Amino acid sequence: MASLHELNRLGQSIWLDFIDRNLLDNGGLQRLVDGGVSGVTTNPTIFHKAITGSADYDASIRTLIERDPNTSAERVCEALMVADVQAAADVLRGVYERTGGADGYVSLEVPPDLAFEATRTVAMAHHLWNAVSRPNVMIKVPGTSEGVEAFESLTADGINVNVTLLFSVEAWQAVAQAHLRALERRVAAGQDVAKVASVASFFVSRIDTLVDQLLAHRLRPDGSTPFANAKLAYQRFRALSAEPVVAAALAAGARPQRPLWASTSTKNPAYRDVLYVETLIGRDTVNTVPPETLNAFLDHGQAQATLDQNLDQAQRDVAALGDLGIDLDAITRQLESEGVAAFAESWQKLLGGVREKCAQVAGVAQRRDSRSDAPV
């Protein structure tokens, strides 16, 4: 049995990849924070399940409709998400202040249908940043080329960003370079670099799923490919941190852009259910986990630094894919494309669910009003 505080001592932060109104209203998030959770990530799928899977949001929806009967599903959805993110950020504000802004963040995603529109992504990110109005929020943007362009602009503007849907070392490298350019722009403009934070979300388990479809057998029965990929990205991160331009930025108070391991629930039942936690432990990293994975780790996980282990094997694992005719670059490009499409689909599903909720809530209100108006 491990504790999150053990991971913290090893230099890793654990963020919860989940949010809902019940967790916020009943003190559940505060208890998790007391146990060592130091951040929250959200996405359209999480919000869809939260909003449509219970009646917890009905009163808020009713209030929004009563204020403006012509309000759109997009506006209702945004209002509900912003309220949850604000509440979570308030719970985590103590972590943010105790760590000097190194931790305690809540992520809110720009609508995924803007993934290939840098200008609109920047505008929406500014809108969401102002709507939440909390220093410990991160706006999520995708790691497409347009998203990276938007990320650089937003970071230069002083907005905290979580760059998501990164699958390859090269994609992470492009984000890291954009981060450095943004910091240099802030320094040149005489702006404080210490007040802006960022993480680069590197997706891991999805690589297993696709590689397993392409291989008749695995390289080893432990799902080695995503870990090899992540370990190589982590080594690039460590090497980049030692470069003079980065060292100068850090000396000026800038925060390192930490790798964040995402998609860390185990998809293959043949693998250990905490595999994507135990194998990705390293200093200056974040792992965002769903509740089931968090509970499994607390029950039977083991906390020890692993990202710096077996680096030669990681190199061999990646090289072996090429020997087997598997193009890892093509795989990661496919995963990025599929990831953007899946997030966009989830966003549309969320909007559709909110529209249905609005209609249900409005119908209940109308029936209630008609009964109250009936003659006695």
**Which active-site residues does the annotation give?**
140
Give the other-Cβ count within 10 Å of 268's Cβ.
13
Q: Alpha-carbon dihedral of residues 225, 212, 334, 306, nearest 10 degrees?
A: -20
Using CA atoms, how far apart are residues 199 and 78, in angstroms rounded to an integer?
23
> CB within 8 A of 358, min separation 6: which ones?
61, 65, 73, 76
* Count, residues in the chain: 376
The type of residue at 56 is: D
Using CA atoms, how far apart are residues 54 and 63, in angstroms rounded to an integer?
17
The two tokens of residue 114 are 């803007």
Measure Cα distances from 22 to 51, 102, 211, 235 in Å: 11, 27, 37, 39
Is residue 116 within 8 Å of residue 337, measured between CB atoms?
Answer: no
